[in-house]
C-alpha cells in the first residue's frame, strides 16, 4: 500500500489528557500537511512541512498543538491538555513539490478524536 | 479573508446530471480542485483545472471555470448511486503560501 497512512483511526480521551497522532505519507512526497475537519465543514489547514522543516502554521494552531516531522518522513501531531472543542477528524495529506505535477494533496483516512 | 462557498446539499435521480457549484475568492489561484469524500474515508482528488482554462472534461466529469465571476462548477453526467458523497471545491491562493482552502462541501444524494 503506497497511500497516506494515519493512526490511530479513532481516539477517545478525557478532557485534559494528551494525545498523539501519526501520519506516514507517500514515500517520495516531500510535503506533508495536517488539516482538521469538523462535522459539516471542509478541512481547515493547521500546518505543513517541507521535508523536516515546518514552514507554515495556521493561527488555529494553539500552543497546545505541536507537530513534528523529524526525519522528513512520518509526522506526529500532539495535542496537550485536550479540550472538548478539539473533537474533530485530523487529516494528514502529502504532496510532491516540483516537476510538472499540480501539487495536489493525497489524503489519509484521518484520525477521529473524541474528547469527553 | 478567504472563503470558498458551496451549496450544502444536492439531490438528483440516478441517470440525471449533477451540477455542483463553487465560488472561490482569490484570482491568483493557479489550480482549482474538486475532491470527493465518501463516508468514513479521506478526501480523494477527482479532478483539477488550471486557471488559464475555461473547461476540462474527464470521462463523466466536466469542470467549468469562470474566472471573471470566480465561479467553478463540476458536472457529473449519468449520475450513479456510487457518486453519493461529499464534494469539496478547493483553491490554493498564492497569498496563502502552500495552504489549500476548502469549501464546506456539497453532499450529493443520488436517488434510485
Is residue A43 reached through a cis peptide bond, with omega within 30 degrees of 0 on the bond before it?
A: no
Residues paired with residue A84 on neighbouring β-strands, in sequence order: none
By the 10 Å C-beta count (0-12 exposed, 13-18 middle, 19+ buried), B1 is classed as: exposed
Q: Which residue of A has its CA nearest to B33?
A: A104
In the numeric block, the cell 469538523 is attached to: A38
Which SS3 state, helix, strand or coil, does residue A89 take?
strand
Which of the residue ranges A17-21, A31-35, A37-41, B13-17 would you say has the lowest mean pLDDT?
A37-41
Task: Provide, as residue numbers in chain B, all residues whose Cβ is less than 8 Å from the Cβ of A110.
Answer: 42
Q: In the predicted model, is pLDDT for residue B1 greater than 60? A: no
pLDDT digits (tens, 9 = 90+) for B6-24: 999 999 999 999 999 999 9
How many Å lie between the alpha carbon of B29 and the closest alpha carbon of chain A? Answer: 12
Q: In the predicted model, is pLDDT for residue B26 greater than 90? A: no
pLDDT of residue A78: 97
Which of A40, A104, A109 faces B42 most closely, judged by CB atoms?
A109
Q: In the predicted model, is pLDDT for residue A99 greater than 60? A: no
Please state the rounded mean pLDDT for residues A40-56.
91
The three three-digit cell numbers of residue B78, written as one number: 449519468
Q: Which of B34, B31, B29, B26 is nearest to B3 (CA)?
A: B26
DSSP-assigned letter for residue A39: T
Q: Which residue of B has its CA nearest to A10?
A: B40
Amino acid at each position: 500500500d503506497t497511500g497516506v497512512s494515519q493512526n490511530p483511526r479513532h481516539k477517545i480521551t478525557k478532557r485534559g489528557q494528551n494525545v498523539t497522532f501519526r501520519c506516514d505519507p507517500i514515500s517520495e512526497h516531500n510535503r506533508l500537511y495536517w488539516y482538521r475537519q469538523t462535522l459539516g465543514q471542509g478541512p481547515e489547514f493547521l500546518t505543513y512541512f517541507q521535508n523536516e522543516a515546518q514552514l507554515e502554521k495556521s493561527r488555529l494552531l494553539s500552543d497546545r498543538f505541536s507537530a513534528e516531522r523529524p526525519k522528513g518522513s512520518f509526522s506526529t501531531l500532539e495535542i496537550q491538555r485536550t479540550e472538548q472543542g478539539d473533537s474533530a477528524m485530523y487529516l494528514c495529506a502529502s504532496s510532491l513539490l516540483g516537476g510538472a505535477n499540480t501539487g495536489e494533496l493525497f489524503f489519509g483516512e484521518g484520525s477521529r478524536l473524541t474528547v469527553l | 479573508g478567504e472563503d470558498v462557498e458551496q451549496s450544502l446539499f444536492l439531490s438528483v435521480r440516478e441517470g440525471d446530471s449533477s451540477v455542483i457549484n463553487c465560488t472561490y475568492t482569490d484570482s491568483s489561484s493557479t489550480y482549482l480542485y474538486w475532491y470527493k469524500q465518501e463516508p468514513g474515508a479521506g478526501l480523494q482528488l477527482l479532478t483539477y483545472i488550471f486557471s488559464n482554462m475555461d473547461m476540462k472534461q474527464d470521462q463523466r466529469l466536466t469542470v467549468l471555470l469562470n474566472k471573471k465571476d470566480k465561479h467553478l462548477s463540476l458536472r457529473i453526467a449519468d449520475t450513479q448511486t456510487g457518486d453519493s458523497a461529499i464534494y469539496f471545491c478547493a483553491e490554493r491562493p498564492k497569498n496563502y503560501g502552500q495552504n489549500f482552502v476548502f469549501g464546506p462541501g456539497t453532499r450529493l444524494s443520488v436517488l434510485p
